[in-house]
Structure 1
């Protein structure tokens, strides 16, 4: 059912939240645009200006690694200045109230953690851009170290432990999905009674399968997104309104 307007959508969502025991939010780029993080797939999104660099290309070519890090540092001010929006804060309020055991997110911006949700309770399907990892041994590297290396040499760094390339701790096209995060997201989708997909186009698989899984396991499904998705028809409630306006009333509740 598609909400006819913002007020009715908020009221229906409030009733569903009140009656739910275990809520699992599933968030995409749309929840972070209010915080100043641009999305990827819209006509004006990042990928309209820069072709994504696939994982195998990053591994194989120094120039691809250099370009990947150049792009990341070009976005540093945007990520550093971003603060949680009303959507993030509303979910943090429900988390603190004991309604939400964990959040499943496609985002890489660390804003759920910044909103007050424990890192262990943020299941990041696509990784995190606020630090880096060696693609060989997995050693964590801080961005300040990467930036110093890049500025000093002009090249993307390699690991000090095993000499393999270092990349942001994100999941690129062609890179294997994180096993533990996928397992945890599956378990959460299977054991909730309300699943809320927020700001996701629901086109990136396998992540897009979690709303369907939750629905198949008996949960109510809510989709909050400005644009239609392919899963709207199976949702119990669809709200095509601004995410901040929709979730704002739940901040502090």
Structure 2
């Protein structure tokens, strides 16, 4: 989700207000309806309280303060079934999220069940990280001044985030061997995919397969001879009996696991 940079300074006096505002803006996407009042979103206050790890009463107080600040421009409720009131509809201030924003993975942030204080500190770390690599170099003194917490409190919060696999710390030393400011990494997870390997029935022309031993009825032990590196290598592999009979030798790449061949 994209969070306006101004939230870090405008809402740091109350961590719950920051968490509630981020939860509301996490609902904004390209399909969100936009009216004259701003972005139109709908969510139950109980859902906000569960995501922000606070009470419903705290959410109501935060919503009132966000209305006073102009972040929530309008709110209303519709009558539901059996005369019950439905969820709140909020109109949010239309910030320009094409610039002056920082990105935070909302699924990771809310699934970690962070308290409002931990959530705010994690958001500050996400704002500080570099664009190319998810890391930042600020010292404890700089972080303490930015977050407005003591060094001891910042260290405790970092330890909790490390324990929950949200942040990773790398110790650094000077040439003299002394420890200096640490490097912190925001743990990110990217969805990958496994591509099915196309098998050539003739086999790669540059690979020669030599049978070493029959391991069992379904697999053989072979060694490969290539014309590029180590022409007479003594590295042994398991290979399926089917692939060996068909003359199919999968390509073996160094440091890459191949499910068809296991280095032994």
TM bracket (short chain): under 0.3
Q: Identify, as 1 or 2, the structure richer in helix.
A: 1
Q: TM-score scaled by structure 1?
A: 0.24
Q: Identify, as 1 or 2, the structure richer in strand.
A: 2
Which gives a bigger RCO, structure 1 or 2 (Cα 8 Å, sep 6+)?
1
Q: TM-score scaled by structure 2?
A: 0.23
Which has the higher Rg, Structure 1 or Structure 2?
2
